[in-house]
Amino acid sequence: MNLLGLYNYWIYIFLLVVGLYAVFVKGNYVKRMIGLGIFQSAVFLLFISMDKVEGGTGPIFRGVPTEGQLFANPLPQVLILTAIVVGIAVTSLGLAIAIRIREEYGSVEEADTRRMDDQS
Amino acid sequence: MTNQFLLLVAIAIPLIGAVVTALSGHNRNLRDSLMVGGATLGFIAVLSLLPSVLDGSVLAVNLVTMMPGLSIAFAIEPLGMVFALVASGLWILTSVYAIGYMRGAQEKHQTRFFACFSIAIFAALGIAFAENMLTLFIFYEVLSVSTYPLVAHKGNEEAKRGARIYLGLLIGTSIGLMLPAMLVTWHLTGTLDFQSGGILQDNVSRGVGAVLLLLYMFGIGKAALMPFHRWLPSAMVAPTPVSALLHAVAVVKAGVFTVLKVSIYLFGLDYLESLWSSDLIMWVAAFTLLAASIVALQKTNLKARLAYSTVSQLSYITLGAMLASELSIVGGGLHIVMHAFGKITLFFCAGAIYVAAHKTEIHEMDGLARKMPITMGAFLLGALSVIGAPPLGGFWSKWNLMLGAADAQHSIMIAVFLISTLLNIAYLLPPVIRAFLLKPADGAQSKPGIEEAPLFCLVPLTLTAIGTFVLFFVADPIRGFIGTIFGSVM
Amino acid sequence: MMTLYDQLPVLVVVLPLFLAPLVATLPSRGKLPWLVATITTALTFAISISLVTQVLETGSLTYLLGNWPIPFGIGLYIGPFSAMMALIISGASLAGLIVSASAMDNEVPAEHQSLLYSCWLLAMSGLIGIVITGDAFNVFVFMEISSLASYVMVANGPTRQGLTASFKYLVTGTMGATFYLIGVGYLYMMTGTLNMADMAVRLEDVSDTLPVIVAGGFLILGLAMKAALFPMHAWMPNAYQFAPSAVAVFFAACSTKVALYVMLRFQFQILTPNLGNHLELLNALIMTLSVIGFIAGSLIAIFSDNLKRLLGYSSVAQLGYIVLAISLGTSAGISAAIIHTFNHAIMKAALFAAVAAMVLRFGSSKIEDLAGVGKQMPLTMLGFALAGLSLIGVPLTAGFISKWYLIQAVLESGTLGILLTLLILTSSLMAVIYIWKVIEIAYFQPARQELPPGRREAPAPVLIVLWALVLANFWFGIDPELVLSLARSEAVNLMGVGK
Amino acid sequence: MMTFFGFFTLTMVAVVAVATVVSSNLFVASMWFGIFSLLMASNFFILDAADVALTEAAVGAGVSTVLFMGALSLTADKESIRQGRRLLPIVVVAVVGLVLLIATLEQPRLGDPLAPVHQHVAPWYIEKTPEYINIPNIVTAILASFRGYDTMGEVLVIFTAGIGVLSVLSFKPKKRASISSEELGQAIRGLQHHAVLRVVGKLLIPVLLLFGLLVQFHGKYSPGGGFSAGALFAAAIMLYGILEGADRSAKAMPQKVMINLAALGCTIYTGVGVACMLLGHHFLDYNALWTDPQIAQYYGILMVEFGVGLTVTAVLIMIFNAIANRATY
């Protein structure tokens, strides 16, 4: 259990790496946004993994709270609710820009747009 | 009005003159007369400061203090006074001459030219009266920048290239070497003020001080110590009045003046003498002095030859400073004056020759004296003065420098001075000899009769030539006046 | 019962935040959105001035949001540096807005302006929100507000390159923010709190553990991306070049500096005491990057043929100076960093204001197109030249004060200091070269295109802003006391030792 | 059992993530990405984060997938094979991963009750929420009151995104977006020719709306709140748009109205805060609103949550319409 208790964090790291890789390597603007999405989700996982308490329940009172009743940590959840909305905001803006780029340049591949910018 | 105020006025007049010139550009007669008027006014203002300095009272103005130990402040001390007098005095003649030259040669952008010209003088006065290194530095840079348009005046590629080298070297050395030296100085001493006896010796180790000296001496690019002398010849693309201003009055003199100030008031002679690098600089100066003269020998273009002669003459003063004996310092101070008059005469003549006969090469000048006797006569005087032959002013400065060398037990430097004197003769007299003794090569188009340059040019060069002669007799008071730096009137 | 005076700390961000959505709903035609935005900004500017005075008189201010005790609620913390940053941000925004009064119409279609000005206010309040908060996560939230608004403004640039620039900016910015969030996450994991001051205290139990070191690394890395620190700078020159000129005035003065502010807060308030011997490693890393940054930045600036781009790269270099000062880890370093932050803001704002005017008249910011601008727009070009002197660091200008303090701070570190000094001066020389390059073309070359007589000099509002900023450059070059005192007291706050 | 299920879904997530990145057909990729979000959501649920799970499901799996689809229909559905330099990125990424991996060794284990996160601030929330605010859902309490300032910033982020997308996409395109005719028709007509889909879909819409309402106003007792509710409403509208055609949904709710609603939402939130100030309390100190603090908090939270829901809904619809109707220019 000791090391398995880190499994969540390892997965988060893996997702982070995959997402970053996509952002760095992919030339397609839409694909990059997807990579960015994965990258951000990784961070969600990081935070949410912190909130778990062994033998605890979700941070919602059902009936009267008994003594020694364990709850998951509500704070990371709040933060990630926020972060998720940031994520969708960034994604939608990025996609909108990508659409315009396609209209202006006729392509959503960075290689093409850069070439055209260099020519102009 | 108080002397403090007068001091500020004296510095401000050229600046105001620049503005007035720029505004009155539409009417050139008005403009030019205003400029000459301003120059005269400036000279009078500076002159009127003389008495208060002579009676030894300290005259200082603190304009702004940015940080403790960092301020824009002015103060008058003998050396600065001399430099200021030379600059503002020759400014009058140069501007008169410039008017004649520019009109004679139908140059363009005359207004810009004259405006920058005045700013340059403003900067020179600022340097002369600077009370601390920072102030000096500021005006030093103003001088560099304000003379760029003058050098680049012709506007063709060659002029631009020359001007870039000019500015690049001056700014580069000052920011790359002098500024760090200042920063370290302030870091170690907490001040940049000029104090008699220097500010470094108490709280800077000899090792650091030696490095600082190197930074300062090579950082003062205007003193044209080799290998940072290239800017001077490349500035030769400028119109001749500019060369006169650069090589006799403002720029180069500002350089060597700074050298003297730094040596006397930042390092102090005793401390300076104790640094290993002062000997090194001395040898560099000696080398520059001889090498430049030899280069001058090969130059066939008159202005180029004069330029290298200047490089060599400046090293006299640097060398004098490094000898770090009172006599040699005084000799250096004197040389600022003497060389100023001698060299400006030579350049005036070169310009006059160009305007009247359109000749720039020395071999073209055979028999020129028949056409332009006055000019060539003045040239002879100037040359002799630079060589240092009595009864001309140049003699005294060299004399004092040699005494200083003896005084500082560097007798070998006396030899250096003597050799260079011979070289001076070798490169300065040929033009005169050709002009007076040989007969014109091209007999065809040479019709008899006088063809002097316009009066505007002729009068100033005559006056300066006479000046070199007069200075021989009034040298002693000046010498004494500079001597008061060290308290003792020699 | 709280008076208005007590509410100022939160009003400085709430006021624009409250009005921004309204601006978006205003009719786009006409100057109404601009007017509202400008008035709001002016008020914000006034508030930040009073905040600066408050801080100078009574020391740092704190404000509990929702009146919940920290660390459980979010608390605002306004120290000297925060107040100064708020002043810079609102001031830059005001300058930019005044410029945009005449410069925006020919770059952004009218029907978008209400949205644009709404974003402008959001960006401003976001940036201010970052500098006045005392909560690590809250920084992230406001970072996102300002960043998103900035992406939008860049994307609305006149040319299509605005879009690619904006996308690049968006990707880098989001990565930076997320890295920052990771760092905060690790700190939270080890301390259980999000309040910076509280973090600093509670980290002592776990100082020098791996997660804390990682946190430090990620925080610095993320903020470096946001601050366009070399080599994460690629987005910035593009963003400045292709954004609407007026927006560039605003950004150039403050946007990246906010990230540096946060970096400085974390560096000294949280990391320095708790990284043990790994701190030197971190500092050494940052220092190397900053040095490469300002040398490379200046070098590229020399060879760039577009004025906006040139200034962008010069900003890369200038930010390098600030980061170098931070990396020294001394109180002199803090002061130097703060001083240069302020001075660089006023000089860059002035330069970009001048450029905005030239673009307005010549329709291009290519340097060779601006030949002879010195004759055709004398006042503008003179302002540019003077601000350029400040950028170089000529005495009597604000730039000189910055350089002076920076170098004095650097010299404290012995032989290394000498080397750094020489490098700094080298890059100053490069600054001389690239500014001179512009001046030479502007003054000593025949004009490429003759402007119609009526439209030569820049419009009055731009000139007013430009010259106000230029005069500020000289004012703070001659009497830097205000900036110095703020810097000193911040240094005392962060290091406990005054200088 | 639960932990095992956790491992399983986590592993799945990792696999799906790889699949998302490698598949060069972008439609497929965005589908994978939707599944990825769904798995993520279920993970969050396992980790006792019901609110987050709900929001992630609605936003990540629902909305963002739709947006990606719309975007792809306007750009290109395949990415070109040629890609940038690989070596440097791989090295950088590997280093980052390695560093983090090492760091995990000194991290507290999953669910460790003694971890610092569970010591300092969190217990206070759990302890004080009943006393100060007295609503069962602690997350909502923190979100809307203790850290209400963050949430306000959040609303403005989403608002910024909304007007941003609008300002970027309301430019008249210089040339028609070059997409195939049936894609174009698709975008306009939606799925009108698929009768079955339409009927089923139509049935879904009211359900979504109802669920949204529940989440919105019951969010203080059970998981939910403005964000997830707004996402659900928006999802319903999007479904309508997909079925009936984006032009219809756009006609039904014109952008101008949406902007005003979004702005209204923000203004409600900030307005509540300002009201507290005017009443002489701190910004967002709901206790100003009523004599009894608990009731005051209750209504304060109610109002700001409504503001959140309004803005999120309006903005998401705005974005959807902007992207979907791009094709119809």
Chains with ≥3 CB–CB distances under 8 Å to C: A, B, D
Q: Which of C394, C436, C478 lies nearest to residue B66, judging by beta carbons? A: C478
Q: Does B414 touch chain C (CB under 8 A)?
A: no
Enter the DSSP assignment of C270: I
Q: How many CB atoms sit inside 10 A of residue D170's CB?
A: 15
Residue B63 is inside which H or E element, if any? strand B59-67
D94-129 CB burial, b ≥16 within 10 A, e <16: eebbeebeebbeebbbbbbeebbbbebbbeebbebb
Question: Taking the CA of residue C65 as centre, how many other CA atoms within 13 Å lie in the half-sphere pointing to its CB?
Answer: 35
**Residues 84-103 of chain A whose Cβ lies under 8 A from any Cβ of chain C:** 86, 89-90, 93-94, 97-98, 100-101
**C419 neighbourhood in chain B, CB within 8 Å:** none
What is the C-alpha separation between B220 and C403, in angstroms, rounded? 21
pLDDT at position C250, please?
Answer: 92
Task: Give the pLDDT band of residue B472 (cuts 50, 70, 90).
Answer: confident
pLDDT at position B317, please?
Answer: 87
What is the C-alpha separation between B283 and B322, in angstroms, rounded? 9
Residues C116-136: what's their mean pLDDT? 94
Q: How many CB atoms sit inside 10 A of residue B459's CB?
A: 16
pLDDT above 80 for C13: yes
Taking CB atoms and an 8 Å limit, are C148 and D122 in contact across chains? no
Angle formed by the axes of helices C378-392 and C331-362, nearest 10° = 160
Q: pTM value?
A: 0.88
What is the C-alpha separation between C187 and C206, in angstroms, rounded? 10
**B187 neighbourhood in chain C, CB within 8 Å:** 408, 411
pLDDT above 60 for B488: no
- Name C57's Cβ contacts closer than 8 Å, sequence gap at least 6: none
pLDDT above 90 for D164: yes
pLDDT at position B487, please?
Answer: 64
Helix, strand, coil in percent for chain D, rounding step 5: 75, 0, 20
- Mean pLDDT, all residues of chain B: 82
What is the C-alpha separation between C121 and D270, in angstroms, rounded? 15
Q: Which among A22-26, D75-79, D325-329 has the top mean pLDDT?
A: A22-26
pLDDT at position D194, please?
Answer: 66
Task: Give the pLDDT band of residue D193 (cuts 50, 70, 90).
Answer: low
Q: Is C228 left (phi over 0), alpha (psi -120 to 50) or beta?
A: left
pLDDT above 50 for D177: no
Q: How many CB atoms sit inside 10 A of residue D10's CB?
A: 23
Q: Which of B442-451, C365-374, D136-145 shows the lowest mean pLDDT across its residues?
A: B442-451
pLDDT at position C174, please?
Answer: 94
D303: in domain: yes
Interface present between D and B (3 or more CB pairs within 8 Å)? no
What are the tokens at C143? 């970072």
- Percent of the residues in chain B that have a pLDDT greater than 70, as a whole number: 95
Give Cα separations from C380 to C69, C310, C448, D132 (angstroms). Answer: 52, 18, 17, 60
Residues B394-422: what's their mean pLDDT? 84
pLDDT at position B352, please?
Answer: 82
Rg, Å, chain A Cα set: 20
Contact indicator for A87, A37 with CB cutoff of 8 Å: yes
Residues C353-369: what's their mean pLDDT? 87
What is the C-alpha separation between C101 and C97, in angstroms, rounded? 6
What is the C-alpha separation between C348 and C248, in angstroms, rounded? 10
Q: Does D101 touch chain A (CB under 8 A)?
A: yes
pLDDT at position D83, please?
Answer: 56
Q: How close B72 gets to chain C, by Cα (Å)?
A: 9
- Residue at A80: amino acid letter: I
CATH of A7-51+71-119, one of 3.40.1000.10, 3.40.50.360, 3.40.50.720, 1.10.287.3510: 1.10.287.3510
Nearest CA in chain C to D297: C66
Q: pLDDT tens digit string along B91-138?
A: 888 888 888 777 776 667 777 888 888 888 888 888 988 888 888 998
Q: pLDDT tens digit string along D87-119?
A: 888 888 999 899 988 888 888 888 888 888 888
Nearest CA in chain C to A31: C171
Residues C297-303: what's their mean pLDDT? 91
What is the C-alpha separation between B326 and A54, in angstroms, rounded? 90
pLDDT above 80 for D326: no
| Terminal C-alpha separation, chain C | 39
What are the tokens at C142? 């406001």
- The DSSP-derived string for D70-132 is HHHHHS-SB--S-----HHHHHHHHHHHHHHHHHHTTSPPTT-TTSGGGTTTHHHHHHHHHHH
pLDDT at position D321, please?
Answer: 87
Residue in B430, B434, B159 with CA at minimum distance from that of residue B299: B430
Q: How close A120 gets to chain D, by Cα (Å)?
A: 18
Q: Which among B80-89, B210-219, C116-125, D246-255 has the top mean pLDDT?
A: C116-125
The strand ranges marked E within C200-333 are: none
> What residues does each domain of chain B span?
276-490
pLDDT above 50 for A117: yes
What is the C-alpha separation between C373 and C456, in angstroms, rounded? 9
- The DSSP-derived string for B179-233 is HHHHHHHHHHHS--B--TT-SSTTTS-HHHHHHHHHHHHHH-GGG--TTTTTHHH
Between B369 and D73, the more confident residue is D73
**Residues 42-61 of chain A whose Cβ lies under 8 A from any Cβ of chain D:** 44-45, 48-61
- Residue at A53: amino acid letter: V
User: CA B6, B10, B16: angle at the middle one, nearest 5?
Assistant: 120
Contact indicator for B38, B31 with CB cutoff of 8 Å: no
Residues C14-31: what's their mean pLDDT? 89
pLDDT above 70 for C458: yes
- What is the domain extent for residue D172? 126-328
Residues C436-459: what's their mean pLDDT? 80
pLDDT at position C42, please?
Answer: 95
Q: pLDDT tens digit string along C145-171?
A: 999 999 999 999 888 889 999 999 999
Q: Which of A28-37, A83-92, B216-225 shows the lowest mean pLDDT across its residues?
A: B216-225
Q: Which among A113-117, D110-114, D280-284 has the top mean pLDDT?
A: D280-284
Q: Does B152 touch chain C (CB under 8 A)?
A: yes
Residues in chain B: 490
What is the C-alpha separation between C373 and C357, in angstroms, rounded? 11
pLDDT at position B174, please?
Answer: 87
Give Cα separations from B459 to B8, B29, B93, B380 (angstroms). Answer: 31, 18, 8, 16
Task: Give the pLDDT band of residue A76 (cuts 50, 70, 90).
Answer: very high
What are the tokens at B328? 């040699």
pLDDT at position A18, please?
Answer: 93
Residue with tokens 């890059």: C427
Distance of CA C401 to the CA centre of its chain: 18
pLDDT at position C497, please?
Answer: 43
- Residue at B107: amino acid letter: E
Residues B208-212: what's their mean pLDDT? 86
pLDDT above 50 for B490: no
The four Cα atoms D175, D180, D183, D185 give a dihedral, to 10 degrees, of: 70
Q: pLDDT tens digit string along B148-207?
A: 888 887 777 788 888 888 888 888 888 888 888 888 888 888 888 888 877 888 777 888
How many domains does chain D fold into?
1
Q: Does A18 touch chain C (CB under 8 A)?
A: no
* Furthest-apart CA atoms within chain D: distance in Å: 66
Q: Does C210 touch chain A (CB under 8 A)?
A: no
pLDDT at position A109, please?
Answer: 86
Dihedral sign computed on CA atoms, order D143, D148, D154, D160 = positive
pLDDT at position D208, please?
Answer: 82
Q: What are phi and psi of A53, to 5 degrees?
A: -120, 130
* Counts of helices then strands in chain A (DSSP H, E): 4, 0
Chains with ≥3 CB–CB distances under 8 Å to A: C, D
Q: Does A34 touch chain C (CB under 8 A)?
A: no
Residues B262-288: what's their mean pLDDT? 86
- Percent of the residues in chain D that have a pLDDT greater than 90, as a whole number: 25
Task: Give the pLDDT band of residue C498 (cuts 50, 70, 90).
Answer: very low
Task: Give the pLDDT band of residue A1 (cuts 50, 70, 90).
Answer: very low
- Name C39's Cβ contacts closer than 8 Å, sequence gap at least 6: none
- Mean pLDDT, all residues of chain D: 83
B73-112 CB burial, b ≥16 within 10 A, e <16: bbbbbbbbbbbbbbbbbbbbbbbbbbbbbbbbeeeebbbb
What is the C-alpha separation between B333 and B125, in angstroms, rounded? 16
Count how many pairs of residues, chain C against chain D, have C-beta atoms within 8 Å.
165
pLDDT above 50 for C83: yes
pLDDT at position C499, please?
Answer: 32
What is the C-alpha separation between B127 and B255, in angstroms, rounded? 10
Task: Give the pLDDT band of residue B443 (cuts 50, 70, 90).
Answer: low
Between B107 and B79, the more confident residue is B79
What is the C-alpha separation between C261 and C196, in angstroms, rounded? 14
Q: How close C63 gets to chain D, by Cα (Å)?
A: 8
Angle formed by the axes of helices C278-303 and C210-226, nearest 10° = 20
pLDDT above 70 for B372: yes
Q: Which among C10-19, C224-233, C361-370 has the top mean pLDDT?
A: C10-19
Contact indicator for C269, C203 with CB cutoff of 8 Å: no
pLDDT at position C177, please?
Answer: 95
What is the C-alpha separation between B104 and B357, in angstroms, rounded? 11
Bridge partners, residue A60, by sequence: D137
- Mean pLDDT, all residues of chain A: 86
**B152 neighbourhood in chain C, CB within 8 Å:** 444
Enter the DSSP assignment of B70: E
Task: Give the pLDDT band of residue A41 (cuts 50, 70, 90).
Answer: very high
pLDDT at position B213, please?
Answer: 87
Give Cα separations from B425 to B296, B468, C370 (angstroms). Answer: 11, 17, 52
Between B281 and D178, the more confident residue is B281
Residues D174-185: what's their mean pLDDT? 50
What are the tokens at D214? 């529940």
Burial class (CB in 10 A: 0-12, 13-18, 19+), D3: middle
- Mean pLDDT, all residues of chain C: 89
pLDDT above 80 for B68: no
Interface test with D, best of A13, A24, A70, A84 (most D CBs within 10 A): A84
pLDDT at position C186, please?
Answer: 92
> What residues does each domain of chain A span?
7-51+71-119
What is the C-alpha separation between B97 and B111, in angstroms, rounded? 15
pLDDT above 70 for C61: yes
pLDDT above 50 for A6: yes
pLDDT above 60 for D184: no
pLDDT above 60 for A93: yes
Q: Which of A20, A86, A110 lies nearest to residue C144, judging by beta carbons? A: A86
- Residue at B168: amino acid letter: G
Chains with ≥3 CB–CB distances under 8 Å to B: C
Residues D204-208: what's their mean pLDDT? 80
What is the C-alpha separation between B27 and D213, in angstroms, rounded? 84
What are the tokens at D188? 């306009």
